[in-house]
Amino acid sequence: MNSVRLLVFPVISLFLVAPSYSDVIPNDSYIAGYATGILKRDFKLDLSSLIVRNGIITLSVPQLSSKDRAQILKMLSEIPGVNSVKLLETDNQQRSAAITSPPTEEGTPASSASPFVSDSTALPTGFLPAGHLFKPLLADPRWAHFSAAYRNYVGDNLDGNNNGSVSFGETIPFYRANLGQSTIQWEAGLQAGVFSDFNLDARSSDLINTDFIASAYSSMRKGQLSAFARIYHQSSHLGDEFLLRTRLERINLSYEGADLRFSQELPYGVRIYGGGGGIFHKNPSTIKPWSVQYGIEFRSPWRINFAAMRPILAVDFKNFEQNNWRLDVSARAGVQFDNFGAFNRRLQFLIEYYNGNSPTGQFNKEAVQYLGIGAHYHF
């Protein structure tokens, strides 16, 4: 209970304080000014054609490279209060064969120019495209990304109560296309991650375990609904120092599996998701195959202006047949820095809490509970 209080109090304080430093839910005038400033600062575009109605940004621009187009769509769609972005692209010759502009909410043309319309979910297509159709699962302990965290385990832990955890991973789309003539997009690529835990109580900060996960995936998106399916391999490897010191019997844990998740993005930064999967070609063969996963996330539409950061809250739930469907809960809360990033990733500082069977390799039958804090890079 003390650990829960340690987690809950900072989270409540963060969300109580945030509105006092933040704007109210932005109106169309605020969004228009924000968007105009971004376009002028980062792309040297001074566009009087920019229109915002009911949180929908519509603007006419000259033809853009796929990279600039993706960056503009991403940056504008992340402005607090924006529901979607429509780029009306025209060539430099102002094509004589006019293409009818799509109606706005009021039913009038958004622009008299000849538009090629795309919304905030229509990403560049082709080989090695920019962006991702399926957003990362922020509280999933095994979502491939770059992170470093300190964790304090409650009660007796198999190897120390003060652990360090790092992950190295990436999701790389290889190819993206539209599904026929529809607005549905699909992509295929690779996702891989390495997850390692260290015993900080040991003299040499012994490596406890490393999990390797590699997968081929396919994802789809239509509007705010997206899906992510993969076939993956996972193996677990104990650290040498850990084995020598504990004399633990090593299990050659290795298996392949497949899973599918669906995600729906809701107003005001809320997102829900769910899915499940199974494993095959497993070692040891006694592993029970089935699992389900579901969760909810909140990326605040309010921003704490003095530091250009926004609050984040995510909770992930998993149930494994192997553990008699016991509930595993992973919760993370903190802030994302909007103006600070590396390799097109956003920096997040998150408090984390976990209660359930260990997500770490062959320790999956061990019940653990920990409280921690970490830095994460997410796209």
Q: What phi and psi values does residue 16 have, to the nearest 5 degrees?
A: -75, -35
Cβ–Cβ under 8 Å, residues 189 and 172: yes
Reply yes or no on whether the pLDDT at 54 is more than 60. yes
Task: Give the C-alpha distances (Å, rounded to integers) separating 126 from 30, 167, 175, 178, 302.
Answer: 35, 29, 5, 10, 34
Q: Is 77 exposed, middle or buried (0-12, 13-18, 19+ CB in 10 A)?
A: middle
- Higher pLDDT: 196 or 121? It is 196
Domain spans of the chain, in order of start: 28-120, 127-378
Q: What average pLDDT score do residues 59-82 get?
A: 77
pLDDT one-digit tens code per residue, 221-255: 998 999 999 999 999 999 877 777 776 777 888 99
pLDDT one-digit tens code per residue, 348-373: 999 999 999 999 988 888 999 999 99
Give pLDDT, residue 316: 98
| Rounded distance between C-alpha atoms, residue 35 and residue 58, angstroms | 11
- The β-bridge relationship of strands 309-320 and 327-342 is antiparallel
Band the pLDDT of 52: cuts 50, 70, 90: confident
Architecture of the domain delimited by 127-378: Beta Barrel (2.40)
Exposure string of 263-274, with b = 16+ CB inside 10 Å and e = fewer, is: bebeeebebebe
pLDDT one-digit tens code per residue, 321-352: 999 999 999 999 999 987 766 666 889 999 99
In sequence order, the 6+-apart residues with CB closer than 8 A to the CB of 264 are: 224, 225, 271, 272, 273
**1-10, 191-200, 310-319: the lowest-pLDDT one:** 1-10
Give pLDDT, residue 47: 65
Reply yes or no on whether the pLDDT at 202 is more than 60. yes
Reply yes or no on whether the pLDDT at 28 is more than 50. yes
Q: Do 127-378 and 28-120 fall under one CATH topology?
A: no
In sequence order, the β-bridge partners of residue 88 are 60, 117
Q: What average pLDDT score do residues 290-303 get?
A: 93
| Rounded distance between C-alpha atoms, residue 240 and residue 249, angstroms | 12
Q: pTM for the complete prediction?
A: 0.73
Cβ–Cβ under 8 Å, residues 30 and 52: no
| Rounded distance between C-alpha atoms, residue 341 and residue 223, angstroms | 26
Q: What is the dihedral of CA 123, 125, 127, 133, to 10 degrees?
A: 40
**Mean of all residue pLDDT scores within the chain:** 81
Reply yes or no on whether the pLDDT at 178 is more than 80. yes
Q: Is 152 exposed, middle or buried (0-12, 13-18, 19+ CB in 10 A)?
A: middle
Task: Give the C-alpha distances (Å, rounded to integers) separating 53 from 103, 131, 159, 314.
Answer: 12, 26, 57, 30
| Rounded distance between C-alpha atoms, residue 257 and residue 282, angstroms | 9
Task: Give the C-alpha distances (Å, rounded to integers) separating 344 from 47, 75, 130.
Answer: 25, 11, 10
Q: What average pLDDT score do residues 79-92 get?
A: 70
> According to CATH, what is the number of the domain 28-120?
3.30.70
Q: What average pLDDT score do residues 260-282 get?
A: 95
